[in-house]
Amino acid sequence: MAETPHTTDRLRHDIDEGKAGDKKGFPDTAASPLGTDAEASGNLATEEEVARAQAEETATGTRGNAAKGAEPSRPVSAAASRTPRQTSNRTILIAVTVGAAVVLTVIALIV
């Protein structure tokens, strides 16, 4: 059986299936799917350009290998990676900023 030609639609399908190794195997709900801008402008990508992009996207050796339904390995929030000292410094910075805003507001009301 002949291989499917390299098109942006095929590349998008391979990425959505998780073959790029960097996302879950699930379709993206993109407002402008891959290839749409090029198609609208009349400057379609050549088969060679799409083949090169396909090879780069699906080469999983350096990109990790996210299986379908894999959980993300990054922290859920930035607060999870803060040290106690960073949290303390952040609290002090917020307090000073709020205090300065209050003082400036009072001065503006007096003047």
Please check whether residue 47 lies inside any domain of the structure.
Answer: yes
pTM value? 0.40
DSSP code at position 52: H
pLDDT tens-place values along the chain, 111 residues long: 456 667 777 777 777 777 776 666 666 666 666 777 777 777 777 888 878 877 777 775 545 555 555 455 555 566 667 788 888 899 999 999 999 999 999 999 998
For residue 1, what are the contacts with CB-CB under 8 A and spacing of at least 6? none
Do 54 and 83 lie in one domain? The reply is: no
Q: Is-contact 15 55, C-beta < 8 A? A: no
- CA-CA-CA-CA torsion sign (24, 1, 43, 51): positive
Please check whether residue 84 lies inside any domain of the structure.
Answer: yes
Please check whether residue 69 lies inside any domain of the structure.
Answer: no
Q: What pLDDT is attached to residue 1?
A: 46
Q: How far apart are CA 23 and CA 13, in angstroms?
A: 13
Angle between helices 8-16 and 47-58 (to 10 degrees): 10
Please check whether residue 66 lies inside any domain of the structure.
Answer: no
Q: What does each C-alpha distance from 60 to 11, 37, 70, 73 come to in angstroms?
A: 14, 27, 15, 17
Q: What pLDDT is attached to residue 100?
A: 96
Q: Is-contact 76 34, C-beta < 8 A? A: no
